[in-house]
Amino acid sequence: MSLPQIPKESKEIMERMCRGGYQCYLVGGSVRDLLMSRQPADYDFVTDRKPEQIVSEALEAGWKVRKHGEAFGIINIVIGKKKYEVAAMRTENYGEDPHRPERVAFVGDLYKDLARRDFTMNAVAMDKDGKLIDPFDGINDIKNRIIQCIGNPEARFSEDPLRVLRASRFVVQTGFALDGKIRAAMSSEIIQKRFQNLSVERVKDEFEKILLAPQPSQGLRLLADTGVLGLSCSVKQGGRKFRVAFLPEIMQLDGVAQNPRYHQYDVLTHILRTVDEVPPVPIPRWAALLHDVAKGKPGIRSLNRRGEISDRGHPLAGAEMAKRILGRLRVSPKDSQRIVWLVKNHQNLPSDDLQRLTRWAIRRSRDFANRNEFMEAARQLFLLGRADDAAKGRETSALYFHFLLSRFSKIVSGIIFYPYELNISGDEIVEKIGRGPVVGKILHDLLVDVQTGRIKNTPEELKAAVQKKAGNQGDGSCGCPK
């Protein structure tokens, strides 16, 4: 394993913090990623300076500082548009609250600082000259592609139970194998109790990092097999703390059979394969995870006329379940609305027949405020449909989905979906008939007339249609007041 090169700005920070005989090291995931020949997302440093000394040295260098984590010895230095975390070497002791340590001591000791970390691969440091400090054999674990805790896994996870999610995340982000002791600790009763005190926001944020990995299925399967998905976390509301479920609905799908004529896998395996197949973007990944969440449920699971397993109505029931799940996990309302729509419509795909495809597009466009939103939602639906189809383990409809993804936008480009796309404005209608609710009704009627081909979307034909409706205003035939 060759020694990595330290980026210029990182070296400048280390040299600056080392002035006056102090120490400064690059640590954690940034060193791990460099050793794996990956570009680190962030560069983190530790120093034996106290927090106030970090601030003064940074300001003297002309850098901006942010002190949000100063109580825990963490100072963020901003150079240009990039942020770097510089922390005072410290030890920590956790109490009831897993979000923050009860006591922090600034010890000026690199070994003690590294010893408080979670995994050996994250406890490697590098000095400004590129020398590696590896007291817990993390480099060897990186070479052997294995994830091991520093010391007892149960003790590490008990300090901060969010580390059980981090273990799953590192499995999917690095492709490393998980030490068996870690898997056992993830299922321990102590960790399950500690997990209840985690905020839902921290749980959701860490879970989404797993969900957005290139192929998250192995990490998601780990969380299901160890029972982590079945745990509860906490939410604060009105000054009180409540327990909310994590994702037991997904864990409960393990082993739920499907109709073998269409599916090779049980529901959970199919879902995890679907998640792997969609692009690593939050909305499609969440939709893939939840698209079959209602399968096997009472009132949904039945037998068809052939006596085969059927889950008729599962998209609609799944959409209702998805709405509740996303709400309790604090997924943003905007994202949640789109995810629920995708779950509801994941089997409601258009025909490749031009007329029926056009009718489908007009109906579905009504669910959205504008063309851009609808076109993006349709694209996501087709991606989800393709992934759902590919994850069944049976013959796929690849050509059909290629048609939708490559041709749909061009086919519907000439369709008028919204009143604002008409070649007439509301002000022009007001000039003819005056103001009032009737203006909106006439715009809607014009839209329907254009969509059904009764009139063309030209200023001349639209104005003539409005004139005709204005002429009918007196007898009420247009729905206008007399």
For residue range 306-343, list pLDDT tens digits in order.
999 999 999 999 999 999 999 999 999 999 999 999 99
Asked if residues 326 and 340 have their Cβ atoms less than 8 Å apart, the reply is yes
Mean per-residue pLDDT, 463-469: 87
Report the pLDDT value the prediction gives residue 474, as an integer from 0 to 100. Answer: 52
Is the pLDDT at 476 greater than 80, yes or no? no
DSSP state of 100: S
Quickly list H helices, 305-425. Answer: 314-328, 333-345, 354-365, 371-390, 398-411
Distance CA 114, CA 117 (A): 6
pLDDT tens digits, one per residue of 183-235: 999 999 989 899 999 999 999 999 999 999 999 999 999 999 999 999 999 99
Q: What is the mean pLDDT of residues 370-395?
A: 97
Question: Domains of the chain: which residue ranges?
Answer: 1-144, 150-242, 252-414, 419-475
pLDDT at 238: 85
The DSSP bridge partners found for residue 243 are 234
DSSP-derived letter for residue 149 is B
- Which residue, chain included where needed, has tokens 């944020």? 205
Take residue 238 and report the two structure tokens written for it: 């009105």
Task: Domain 150-242: state its class.
Answer: mainly alpha
- Backbone phi and psi for residue 64, each to the nearest 5 degrees, phi listed first: -80, 150
Please state the φ and ψ torsions of residue 243, each to the nearest 5 degrees: -90, 135
Q: Are the C-beta atoms of 379 and 371 separated by less than 8 Å?
A: no
Fold that domain 1-144 belongs to in CATH: Beta Polymerase; domain 2 (3.30.460)
pLDDT tops 80 at residue 1: no
Q: Please give the average per-residue pLDDT across 274-296, as a whole number.
A: 98
Phi, psi of 86 (to 5 degrees): -115, 120
Would you mind telling me the total number of residues written for the chain in this entry? 482
pLDDT for 482 equals: 39
Query: What pTM was estimated for this model as a whole?
Result: 0.91
The pLDDT assigned to 24 comes to: 97
- Look up tokens 């209702």; give the residue: 320
Instruction: Provide the β-strand partners of residue 241.
Output: 236
